[in-house]
């Protein structure tokens, strides 16, 4: 336990130290979340995640499923303007070791390029309008294993590659690491994930042609140059408890707290350089066949427009899941935009489990 405490202390210290030098953060598309099961619980699954989606939420949770699994999700964002896609696979290895692969894409296609709409003589030529795509990609390579000397403890990590592209104008490559841990003590589950633990490095390069640069200069637009972005670390703590009611019913509440290190944010507990954003979820299940979920997150402080008094707003989420043999279908009604003005979305995801070993007794889903 002393070793565990030392590891946690080092992670917190590292996040705090990094925040003192990081001036920019990026890769916000990775904060949206994957899997309707987790989104229906407001993303409160760091301690309890134990399937293929653990590669995203907390790779240490991969050890609690001894079968090969695949998962996929598609959702339309901003009323169909953008698409969010996710696919993942997880495989057990020998000696209590597990690997996973995840792909995330957030993109907007068919964006009009009107740089040459107006010709040099001032006339408009719509034939000069072309289209391009702007997309963010993340490739996660996950590894997890059980710690044999400490029963119930597992650790895991992600090596991730970020690729972002804006038509032929610009592209970006990024690299980073996540480190996670879970500790199960009977029905109590503790989890921790340190994302971008060493800060994720993103290098942008711009490829405007001479003609494109000339148009930008004539219209008083700034011509960007190659730049570097750093994604600051985020540490998420989670605690969950699995209440078993009889032989067929179960209740699983979880509380997570996101600790960001990139300065003061408009969250429940905000300060510089650390801010703390709590969110919570609840899952009810009958015989691990049907699941009903709810969650509360995105708690923010605001001001009443009439009285000027300080108020708090929050985002509720709901979801349902159904296990049909090798397939699990999940649905969530959630606000993927994470802002009060954005419309709610209907999110569907599917998970397939191939025949293999029986589920680990510590598995809760």
Q: Is the predicted pLDDT of residue 339 greater than 80, yes or no?
A: no
Q: Bigger pLDDT: 343 or 150?
A: 150
Residue 61 lies in a domain: yes
User: Pairing between strand 310-324 and 327-334?
Assistant: antiparallel
Instruction: Give residue 24's pLDDT.
Output: 44
pLDDT band at 118 (very low <50, low <70, confident <90, very high): confident
- Residues 330, 256: Cα–Cα separation, whole Å: 21
Lowest mean pLDDT among 50-64, 78-92, 170-184: 78-92
CB 29 within 8 A of CB 7: no
Instruction: Give residue 6's pLDDT.
Output: 40
Q: What's the whole-number mean pLDDT along residues 131-150? A: 95
Residue 152 lies in a domain: yes
pLDDT band at 28 (very low <50, low <70, confident <90, very high): confident
Instruction: Give residue 342's pLDDT.
Output: 58
pLDDT band at 26 (very low <50, low <70, confident <90, very high): low
CB 4 within 8 A of CB 178: no
CB 49 within 8 A of CB 35: no
Nearest-5° Cα angle at 44, 151 to 39: 130
Lowest mean pLDDT among 5-19, 290-304, 343-357: 5-19
Instruction: Give residue 119's pLDDT.
Output: 83
Number of domains making up the chain: 1
pLDDT band at 308 (very low <50, low <70, confident <90, very high): confident
Q: What's the whole-number mean pLDDT along residues 300-328? A: 86
- Residues 113, 131: Cα–Cα separation, whole Å: 5
Closest CA to 7 of 139, 181, 234: 181
Instruction: Give residue 145's pLDDT.
Output: 97
Residue 361 lies in a domain: no
Residue 14 lies in a domain: yes
Q: What's the whole-number mean pLDDT along residues 236-260? A: 95
Partners of residue 180 on adjacent β-strands = 156, 193
Lowest mean pLDDT among 10-19, 36-45, 201-210, 244-253: 10-19
- Residues 157, 63: Cα–Cα separation, whole Å: 12
Token couple for 187: 């029905």
Instruction: Give residue 364's pLDDT.
Output: 58
Residue 304 lies in a domain: no
| Strand ranges inside the chain, DSSP E | 69-77, 82-92, 97-113, 130-146, 153-166, 170-185, 188-195, 200-206, 227-231, 234-241, 243-245, 249-260, 269-270, 275-286, 290-303, 310-324, 327-334, 345-353
Residue tagged 């699995």 (tokens): 242
Instruction: Give residue 314's pLDDT.
Output: 87
Closest CA to 364 of 243, 191, 238, 193: 243
Q: Is the predicted pLDDT of residue 138 greater than 90, yes or no?
A: yes
Its domain, for residue 241, covers 2-261+274-298+317-353
pLDDT band at 141 (very low <50, low <70, confident <90, very high): very high
Query: Distances from the Cα of 68 to the Cαs of 89, 99, 350, 352, in angstroms?
Result: 7, 10, 14, 8
Instruction: Provide the mean pLDDT of the chain.
Output: 86
CB 208 within 8 A of CB 225: no
Residue 76 lies in a domain: yes
Q: What's the whole-number mean pLDDT along residues 298-308? A: 78
User: Above pLDDT 90, what percent of the chain?
Assistant: 58
Q: What's the whole-number mean pLDDT along residues 112-127? A: 87
- Residues 71, 84: Cα–Cα separation, whole Å: 14
CATH at 287: 2.40.160
Q: What's the whole-number mean pLDDT along residues 223-240? A: 90
Q: What's the whole-number mean pLDDT along residues 89-101? A: 95
Which ranges constitute the DSSP H helices of the chain? 2-19, 36-39, 54-57, 210-218
Q: Is the predicted pLDDT of residue 290 greater than 50, yes or no?
A: yes
Residue 289 lies in a domain: yes
Residue 307 lies in a domain: no
pLDDT in tens, 148-202: 999 999 999 999 999 999 999 999 999 999 999 999 999 999 999 999 998 888 9
Most confident of 5-9, 118-122, 274-278, 318-322: 318-322
Residue tagged 């949770």 (tokens): 61
């Amino acid at each position: 336990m002393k070793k565990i405490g030392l590891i946690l202390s080092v992670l917190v210290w590292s996040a705090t130290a990094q925040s003192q030098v990081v001036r920019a953060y990026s890769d916000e598309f990775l904060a949206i979340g994957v899997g309707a099961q987790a989104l229906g619980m407001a993303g409160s699954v760091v301690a309890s995640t134990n399937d293929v989606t653990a590669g995203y939420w907390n790779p240490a949770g991969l050890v609690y499923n001894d079968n090969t699994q695949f998962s996929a999700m598609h959702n339309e964002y901003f009323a169909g303007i953008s698409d969010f896609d996710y696919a993942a696979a997880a495989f057990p290895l020998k000696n209590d070791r597990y690997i996973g692969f995840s792909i995330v894409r957030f993109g907007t296609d068919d964006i009009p390029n009107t740089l040459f709409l107006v010709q040099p003589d001032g006339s408009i030529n719509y034939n000069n309008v072309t289209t391009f795509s702007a997309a963010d990609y993340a490739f996660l390579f996950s590894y997890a294993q059980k710690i044999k000397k400490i029963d119930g403890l597992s650790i895991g990590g992600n090596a991730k590659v970020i690729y972002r592209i804006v038509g032929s104008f610009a592209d970006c490559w990024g690299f980073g690491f996540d480190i996670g841990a879970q500790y199960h003590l009977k029905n109590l589950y503790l989890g921790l994930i340190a994302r971008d633990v060493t800060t994720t490095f993103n290098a942008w390069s711009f490829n405007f042609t001479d003609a494109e640069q000339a148009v930008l200069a004539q219209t008083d637009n700034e011509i960007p140059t190659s730049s570097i972005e750093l994604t600051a670390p985020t540490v998420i703590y989670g605690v969950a408890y699995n209440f078993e009611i009889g032989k067929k019913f179960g209740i699983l509440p979880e509380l997570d707290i996101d600790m960001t290190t990139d300065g003061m944010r408009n969250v429940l507990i905000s300060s510089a350089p650390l801010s703390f954003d709590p969110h919570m979820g609840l899952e009810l299940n009958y015989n691990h066949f049907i699941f009903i979920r709810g969650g509360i997150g995105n708690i923010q402080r605001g001001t009443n427009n009439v009285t000027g008094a300080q108020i708090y707003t929050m985002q509720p989420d709901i979801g349902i899941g159904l296990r049909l043999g090798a397939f699990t279908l999940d649905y969530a009604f959630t606000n993927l935009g994470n802002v009060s003005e954005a419309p709610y979305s209907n999110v569907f995801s599917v998970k397939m489990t191939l025949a293999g070993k029986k589920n680990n007794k510590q598995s809760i889903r």
